[in-house]
Chains A and B, each alone.
Chain A
Amino acid sequence: AQTVTQSQPEMSVQEAETVTLSCTYDTSENNYYLFWYKQPPSRQMILVIRQEAYKQQNATENRFSVNFQKAAKSFSLKISDSQLGDTAMYFCAHLWAGSYQLTFGKGTKLSVIP
């Protein structure tokens, strides 16, 4: 079974600053994907970034980047130049390609302070 751990229930960051959200996971599979999802108050699940486990290069999407350490099973999210609209719950998730079932962490509530 896969498990995903987010050790930071809440975090805050000053607007325009950089923040890193932590995530570790446990899996015995080799073919898997990792995701960060954002859930604003509307509760819509929004894909922030995705990483294929077989790729060594860290994924980047504009202000969002990850630090993927496969051996350590770590998958942190860095948000640069934080904006007020980044305020949301952030969920780290693992997906095994064999089932396409997502396993979510408990989430980190991020508040961007003006």
Chain B
Amino acid sequence: GAVVSQHPSWVICKSGTSVKIECRSLDFQATTMFWYRQFPKQSLMLMATSNEGSKATYEQGVEKDKFLINHASLTLSTLTVTSAHPEDSSFYICSARGNSYNSPLHFGNGTRLTVT
């Protein structure tokens, strides 16, 4: 079946540095990918919709200069957390869907980010 690979699965970085998270669709092309954030014991909150070849659409309250999204190809979207701070520590999950109507959504395994 379709698989979405997310890398890294966990990362620890120092405050002030930037971290890049990759989301790849392994056996299908994904025009659209989604980035979610999940705090401990909470639900998934949509951060942004990533569209191949165009700018991402950010949800209200999400800083686009803080969370840079690049969807350069039909199989890869990246989320870069810039100048990370401890409050950015969270679980980030991507999802992707194929290009045909009624294509299902597939989730990556998530990335646990810890900023020290």
Partner-B contacts on A (CB < 8 A): 42-45, 47, 50, 91, 95, 99-107
CB < 8 Å neighbour of B105 from A100, A106, A107: A100
Partner-A contacts on B (CB < 8 A): 32, 34, 38, 42-46, 49, 91, 93, 95, 97, 104-105, 107, 109-110, 112
CA distance in complex: A104, B42 (Å): 10
CA distance in complex: A91, B105 (Å): 15
Which residue in chain A gives the minimum CB-CB distance to B59?
A101
CA distance in complex: A44, B91 (Å): 11
Contact B44 A104 (CB under 8 A): yes
Question: With a CB–CB cut-off of 8 A, which chain B residues contact A105?
Answer: 43
CA distance in complex: A95, B49 (Å): 14
Contact B43 A101 (CB under 8 A): no
Contact B43 A106 (CB under 8 A): yes
Contact B93 A45 (CB under 8 A): yes
CA distance in complex: A47, B4 (Å): 14
Question: With a CB–CB cut-off of 8 A, which chain B residues contact A50?
Answer: 104
Contacts A44-B109, A47-B104, A100-B97; A106 near B42 (Cβ below 8 A): yes
Closest 5 CB pairs of A and B: A45-B107, A104-B43, A106-B43, A104-B44, A43-B110
